[in-house]
Amino acid sequence: MENNLKPENKKVTAGVLGILLGGFGIHKFYLGYQKEGIIQLILTIVTCGAASLVGFIEGIIYLTKTDEDFYQTYQVGRKPWF
């Protein structure tokens, strides 16, 4: 019996987290980007929330990519920003 397990694609969850909680860097932490998550959180605090727009935009970018493109770019290729 052949085992054809596909790796988990985190696109939808990361996209929704980016849109709803992007200012806190939650989507970065979810994808395993701890350093970038901390940077996002600090920037949001320093800019009184203005940097949360970055998380919102990233969430939209995540959701508009194809599943395969998202997986290859952010999970395999480990691209931390946009």
Find the domain containing 39 and state its range.
Answer: 11-76
Distant-in-sequence, close-in-space partners of 64: CB < 8 Å, separation ≥ 6 = none
Q: Is residue 60 part of a domain?
A: yes
**For residue 59, is it within any domain?**
yes
pTM: 0.85
Residues contacting residue 65 through CB under 8 Å, at least 6 positions apart: 11, 73
Task: State pLDDT tens for residues 18-27.
Answer: 999 999 999 9
Which one has a higher pLDDT value, 82 or 3? 82
How do residues 36-45 score in pLDDT, each as one tens digit?
Answer: 999 999 999 9
- Which structure tokens are listed for 52? 């949360």
How many structural domains are present in the chain?
1
Question: Shortest CA distance to 81 belongs to which of 20, 12, 33, 47?
Answer: 33
Q: What is the mean pLDDT of residues 4-18?
A: 85
Answer whether residue 5 is part of any domain. no
Q: What is the pLDDT of residues 56-67, one digit of tens each?
A: 999 999 999 999
> Tokens at residue 31, please?
């994808």
The answer on pLDDT for 2 being more than 60 is no
Tell me which amino acid residue 70 is. F
